[in-house]
Amino acid sequence: MARAPDAGKKRWIQGPEPIQGPDVPYQNIRKSNPPVRGWLNLTTSVLLLEWFGFIRTIIWQNTGFANLRKLQVHIENTPPRFDPTVVPFPEPSREAKKDLANGSNGHALAKKLLRKYYTVADYHRLYLSGELTPTAVAKAILPLIRKDTSPPGQHSIAFFDSKVDLVLAAAEASTLRYKEKRPLGPLDGVPTAIKDEYDIEGYITCLGSKNDYTGKPKDGSSITSWCVKKLEEAGAINVGKLHMHEFGLDTSGNNPFKGTPPNPYNSQYYTGGSSSGCAYAVSTGLVPIALGGDGGGSIRIPASFCSVYGLKPSHGRLSFKPALNHSSTCAVNGPIASDIHSLSAMYQVLGAPDEESLFAAPSPTLLTPSANRKKVLGICEAWFSRATPAIQTLCRSMLDRLVSEHGYTLVDIKIPFLPEGQTAHAMTVLTDAATLLPVTKGLTPANRIMLALGNVTPSTDFLLAQKLRHVLMQHLAWLWMQHPGMVIVTPTTACAGWKVGKPVDLKYGISDGDQTLKTMEYVWMGNFCGLPSISVPAGFVVPEGRKGEGEVAEEGVQGKVPVGLMGMGEWATEEELLWFGGDCEDIGQERSSTPPIWVDVVERAKEEMKRTS
C-alpha cells in the first residue's frame, strides 16, 4: 500500500501504511548458547545436527526462534511482507536515470581531516597536479597485498586475489587520461578493492569458501557485477578481491579457509564481518574506498570495529545484476570508506540505476545539505541501553554535541518487538541460506551448524517472521509521519569489538551465537525493514585484559578497540544520512586516529616515482 501524505499524491511505491504498533513493554529474555570451538566440538556438532532432526529442533527452539508464536495475537491480521523495497514516488524520468560517474558537479569540497587518511579527493588532487600517477600508486600497493610473492605481502592476509596485469593495465590507462587532461571524474585512478562476493571478469568468486561460485556468462555477456562495472567506468583501480566471512553468515570475519584479517588497531580482535577484508583495507590506508555487502550488518559492523565509515543503502537501491541477490529479502551492496566525502563519492557512482530500476540516480549535489533539512534524532532508550556503558558514553557524548553544535533535536521514540524482530531477521537469513545451499560439503563447520538450523524452520514460523517485518515497517512509517526527517540513532554494536577467543578459533572457526547477537543488536533492522543506515566512528574503549578494560580509552592506550555510532533513516534517504555523517565527522575528529599498521601509500608512491623517473 502506498502512503499518501497529502491529497491526491502518493509518496511511496510499495510503501507501508503508517500504523502505530502495539504498545508493549520492552523485554529481552534470551537463553544463552555456549560457544562451539575446536575441531572435535565443531565436527561433532555438525554431525549431530545434520544427522538427527530432533537435535536440530531442540537447538532451533533454544535459540528463541519459536518465540515469535507468542506474538501471534498481535500480528496475525497483518499480511506477511517478503520484500522490504520501498521506492520514492513518482517514478524517475529516463532523463534522470543517467550515469553520474563522470563528475560531481555541485559537491561540497572535501574537508581537511585531522587524522592522517588519504581521501578520494586527495588522490584526485595529486593526480591533477602531476605529483602522483595512478601507476605509481598501483605499484606502491601491489607488493603489500600480493599472495604470490615470497614472502607474501605484509597485508596480503586481507586479499583473496590480485591480478597484477589487470591492475597495472587499468592504472596505466588512468595515468594516460590524466596526462592528456581528460580524467573521467573524481574516482579516476583512485585505488579500491572488492569483496569476494562480486563477480569480476578475470577473477573467480568463492564467497569466502573453498568452492567456486563464479557466475556463468549469458550469451557472451560479461559476468562483472553492476557495481564493479560502474567503478570501472568511473576509472577506479580495483587492486584485488578481498576476504570475507564465508557466505557472509556471521559477523566476526573469521575465515579458517581463506584467512582472517586481524583488526588493524589490535591484532587480538577481529575486524568484524562479513566485509572483513574491506574494512581492513580501508582502515590500514591501502585504499580509501572498498565495495562491500550487507545482509545483517556486514558493512556497518566491520566499519565500526575498524573505525571507518560504512553505508548500507536502502533495499534494492543498488543493482546486483547480472547476478542474483543471494539473500534477496535482506542483503544490499554498499561502500566502506575512510571519510564521508569518499563514501559519498563512491555511493554516487554505485547508485547509477540499471535499466529496470525504479530508483533515481543519486543527486549530483550529494554533499551539499539543504538549508531546510530536518535535524531530528530519535532514541529508543530501552534499546540504546543494551550497549555497554562505555559505548553508551561515547555515543551519547556525540549526540550531545550534535545538539549543541549542529542544532539537532532529540526525541524519545518507542519501537515494539525489538528482540523478536532480531530473531525474525536471523530466521529469515538462515532459511534463505539453507535454501540456497542444500549441499554443505566443503563449508566451514560453523556455517554448517547455522545452515542445519535454517533447514528446520517451519513454514508457519517463517510466515510469522514476515508478518512481524510488516508490522515493524508500518510502525516505522508511523514514526516518520510523526517526526519527518528523523534519523534513528543507536550504537552500531552493543559490544566493543570481538576478541579472538583462542588461537584454535582461527584454525577451525568459531560458532558463538551470543556474541553474534551482541554485534547485531542494532544493525538487523536496516536489513529486515529495508532502511538505509550509516556507521561512523565514535571513539575507542580499553581492550580486554588491560587495566580499565571496557572503559572509554584515552588517546595513548595501546590496542584500543574502535566503536561506532549508527544512524538509520527513512527509505531512500541516503543523502540525509550522509549529511548526518558529515556532522558526526566534524565533531568526532579529535577522538579519531589511524591504526599502528597504517600504510602511507602516497609516500610509497612518491618514492616509486622517484625510483622510476
Among candidate residues 328, 355, 386, the one with its CA nearest the CA of residue 520 = 386
The gap from C-alpha 334 to its chain's centroid, in whole angstroms, comes to: 6
Instruction: Give the DSSP H or E segment for 500.
Output: none
**Residue 150, exposed/middle/buried by CB under 10 A (0-12, 13-18, 19+)?**
exposed
Asked whether the bond before 35 is cis by omega within 30 degrees of 0, the reply is: no
Q: How many CB atoms lie within 10 A of CB 365?
A: 14
Q: Active site includes 304?
A: no
Residues 6+ apart with CB under 8 A from 418: 26, 28, 380, 382, 383, 525
Q: Active site includes 518?
A: no
Query: Which residue in the list 195, 258, 312, 375 is annotated as catalytic?
Result: 195
**Residue 54, exposed/middle/buried by CB under 10 A (0-12, 13-18, 19+)?**
exposed
Query: Which residue in the list 274, 283, 307, 592 is annotated as catalytic?
Result: 274
Alpha carbons 331 and 528: distance in angstroms, whole number: 9
Alpha carbons 287 and 118: distance in angstroms, whole number: 8
User: What's the grid cell of residue 201?
Assistant: 571478469
Q: What is the DSSP letter of 268?
A: E
Q: Is 503 helix (H, G, I), strand (E, B) or coil?
A: helix
Alpha carbons 76 and 467: distance in angstroms, whole number: 7
Strands (E) across 234-301 are located at 237-242, 262-263, 266-270, 289-294
Longest pairwise C-alpha distance within the chain: 75
Among candidate residues 91, 102, 127, 535, the one with its CA nearest the CA of residue 349 = 102
Q: Is 143 helix (H, G, I), strand (E, B) or coil?
A: helix
Quick check: 253 and 196 in contact, CB under 8 A?
A: no
Q: What is the DSSP letter of 134?
A: H
Give the C-alpha distances (Å, rounded to integers) separating 278 from 301, 426, 522: 11, 23, 21
Q: Active site includes 533?
A: no
Alpha carbons 297 and 425: distance in angstroms, whole number: 11
Amino acid in position 332:
V
Cell 564467497 belongs to 207
User: What's the grid cell of residue 81?
Assistant: 511482507
Q: What is the DSSP letter of 546?
A: S
Asked whether the bond before 274 is cis by omega within 30 degrees of 0, the reply is: yes
Q: How many CB atoms lie within 10 A of CB 339?
A: 28
Query: Which residue in the list 209, 252, 298, 511 is annotated as catalytic?
Result: 298
Alpha carbons 232 and 226: distance in angstroms, whole number: 10
Active site residues: 195, 274, 298
